[in-house]
Amino acid sequence: DAGITQSPRHKVTETGTPVTLRCHQTENHRYMYWYRQDPGHGLRLIHYSYGVKDTDKGEVSDGYSVSRSKTEDFLLTLESATSSQTSVYFCAISESVATRLDEQFFGPGTRLTVL
Amino acid sequence: LAKTTQPISMDSYEGQEVNITCSHNNIATNDYITWYQQFPSQGPRFIIQGYKTKVTNEVASLFIPADRKSSTLSLPRVSLSDTAVYYCLVTNAGNMLTFGGGTRLMVKP
């Protein structure tokens, strides 16, 4: 399996508090992604990064920010968590998007509950 | 990217062959068809990708007709451990992956 870890794996927090999720990779892949998965919605892209300090918005970026100061780490921050952000969050990595395969490798997920 | 439509759920029994069909009527010339598998409490993982005709690997086969408006993922002789959600995606190099709702496959003993 690709070397991807996410921390924490589970978190319960209260509305209005800031939350940071961490994704760490040991594969030295250039691209990193944050998705959220909710029942009936499959996975939706929140933000992605195509290099250190290079990030862009995905489909559902409102309420989230990201940072990537090192190749191996991609942080997702909820500045002020809301109950609608209760979800399972997956990090993914890929070596390149400019290839036919564009295979993404996913982490184990973080289950976040906002009360 | 082309939208995909696939059944919400399917049931099967151990040892049977399972075929999951996906429609993608608006697929573009440069698009590929890619399938991911997701087990409960895990992230998705890549299964197979194809452009046309047939592709086979150690996990599955992918059949794509000449018009490419649909594709069929074939899982030979499924086991209980094949119970998962299967996502059909239309992908294009340089674009982000778009996951739909997937097909929830339940394999029964």
Q: A102, A90, A106: which is closest to B34 by C-alpha?
A: A102
Burial class for A95, CB neighbours closer than 10 Å (0-12, 13-18, 19+): middle
Please write down the HEC assignment for all residues of A43-73: EEEEEEEEECCEEEECCCCCCEEEEEEECCE
Q: Does the CB of A34 have a partner CB in chain B at under 8 Å?
A: no
A44: CB partners within 8 A, 6+ apart: A35, A36, A37, A38, A58, A59, A60, B99
Taking an 8 Å cut-off on Cβ atoms, the answer to whether B45 and A105 are in contact is yes
pLDDT band at residue A2 under the 50/70/90 scheme: low
CA A10 vs. chain centroid, Å, equals 14
**To the nearest whole angstrom, how far is the Cα of A111 from the nearest Cα of chain B?**
9
In A47-66, the residues whose Cβ lies within 8 Å of chain B are: 48, 58-59
Do B35 and B12 touch, CB atoms closer than 8 A? no
Token pair, residue B48, equals 């197979």
**Which member of A42, A101, A107 has the closest CB to residue B99?**
A42
Mutate to test the interface with A, among B99, B103, B104 (most CBs of A within 10 A): B99
Give the count of Cβ contacts less than 8 A between chain A and B. 53
Of B97, B98, B103, which to mutate for an interface test with A (greatest number of A Cβ within 10 Å)? B97
Identify residue A5 by its one-letter amino acid code: T
Question: Residues 2-31, chain A: which have Cβ within 8 Å of B?
Answer: none
Quote the Cα angle for A60-B38-A92, to 5°.
50
Residue B99 and residue A43: Cβ atoms within 8 Å? yes
pLDDT tens string A6-18: 999 999 999 999 9
Q: CA separation (Å) from A31 to A4, B1, B62?
A: 13, 20, 27
Condensed to tens digits (0 to 9), the pLDDT of residues B3-22 reads 899 999 999 999 999 999 99
Q: Take residue A14 and report the two structure tokens written for it.
A: 């209260």
Which pLDDT tens digit goes with each residue over B16-59?
999 999 999 999 888 899 999 999 889 999 999 999 989 999 99
Looking at per-residue pLDDT, the higher value among B2 and A83 belongs to A83
For CA atoms A6, A8, A13, A18, give the dihedral sign.
negative
Q: What is the pLDDT of residue B1?
A: 61
